[in-house]
Chain A
Amino acid sequence: MDLTNIFESERLRLTEIDPKADAEKDSLWSHGIEYARNRKTNPVRPISALESKKNLEEELKEAENEGNRFHFAIRSKNGEEELLGFLDVANIEWKNGQGSLQIIFGNETTCKEFFSESLQLGLQYAFGELNLYHVCMEIPAYETERTAALEEADFVREACLREIVFHEGTYHDRILFGLLAEEWRMQKGLK
């Protein structure tokens, strides 16, 4: 394991979030409904760059005050370090070694291309750096590509919250996926 390299993979880099610079893209992406849902705008709606900047600033302040959330920008490693999405480990319960990993990309194409790679960065951070015992990811059941990617990465379908997401006029299930630190270590050939 390369201890110096936990924030980068082959094509991606996790960096700090710059609310001023990153708000524009966050606002642009929020005009896509799944992005807005993942950003938890309630109800699902697009937000302006001004609102996005405020949200990002508040999230960072809250993370700092509460000490239970770590929030990164996902950027491309080549050239301009273009912003591709956000990754955070949130709702951490230190006493239980529990946290939820959230990864969102600006659009479907980048998600398809980079989701699995960013997932490995997130897990490495959650288990290797934060020493969590169990990581949870929540995905609406209709997002079959992301659910497949999680199963590919050995996540277990731990719960299915029936009809908890309203989308395109009907109710959909939300799947809760989980991975244990020991499963991740075994997968990586670590002790």
Chain B
Amino acid sequence: MNEAYLQGKTIYLRATDPEKDVQYYTAWQRDALYDRFMDSLPAVMYNKDQMKEWFEKQITSHLSSFMIVRKTDNTPIGFIEISGYDWHSGNAWLGIGIGERENWGKGYGTEAMNLLLRLVFLEWNLHRVSLSVLGYNARAIRAYEKAGFKNEGALRGFIQRDGQRWDMYMMGILRQDWEKLQAVQIEN
């Protein structure tokens, strides 16, 4: 694979290694807000063995997972993954997380998404990428819009936390949306 696909300006992507990388996931999950941004299901604590087992089950056919690594110190700061492939319709689902709060809002996630979208549209021949995001995660919604995802609607009151209800936003980017964005970037 052309390495350039995985090289950004401030970060690069590399394959997730269940043996070495579960330590990062178990550290990130200590932050309840991180957990509550990641999933609508109950926030839980997995130990390293449980997490490794989950990865080993998923990673061969159902999941392509990458670590987002900061270039200045080669430290993994988050992950990005594609799962739920529907090859004949050319759709798959994207998930992303940046672990430590001090690394939020710095554009690392946007850079990782730009890399991954290039890979799935130019090499995997996907037609679209989908994601869902919890209504209270405004920062993520802005980042997804910046990467070219469009808001396709919201499942009303999908999620309950602390006695309140929030919507679940559904977002998607088509290959043609992404191509238009690339054209604009070249012109500028």
Contact = CB atoms under 8 A, between A and B. Distances in A.
A95 B152 contact: no
Nearest to A172: B89
Nearest to B166: A96
A91 to B, nearest CB: 11
B106 interface: no
B88 A178 contact: no
Contacts of A96: 40, 158-160
A180 B157 contact: yes
A98 B161 CA distance: 13
B4 to A, nearest CB: 28
Given A162-B128, A164-B172, A156 B156 contact: yes
Interface string B116-142: 000000000001101000000000000
Nearest to A156: B156
Interface residues of A, number: 26
Contact of B155 (A95, A136, A162, A165): A136
B160 A97 contact: yes
B163 interface: no
B41 interface: yes
Interface residues of B, number: 26
Interface string A160-191: 11111110000100001010100000000000
A58 to B, nearest CB: 16
A178 B153 CA distance: 11
B95 interface: no
B34 to A, nearest CB: 18
A134 B158 contact: yes
A95 B153 contact: no
Contacts of A42: 86, 88
B154 interface: yes
Contacts of B170: 159, 161, 176
Interface string A55-90: 000000000000000000000000000000000000
B127 A171 contact: yes
Contacts of A97: 160
Given A161-B172, A163-B128, A164-B130, 6 more contacts: A42-B88, A95-B42, A161-B130, A161-B170, A166-B88, A171-B127
Interface of A: 42-44, 93, 95-98, 133-134, 136, 156-166, 171, 176, 178, 180
7 contacts: A93-B40, A96-B158, A162-B174, A164-B86, A171-B127, A178-B155, A180-B156
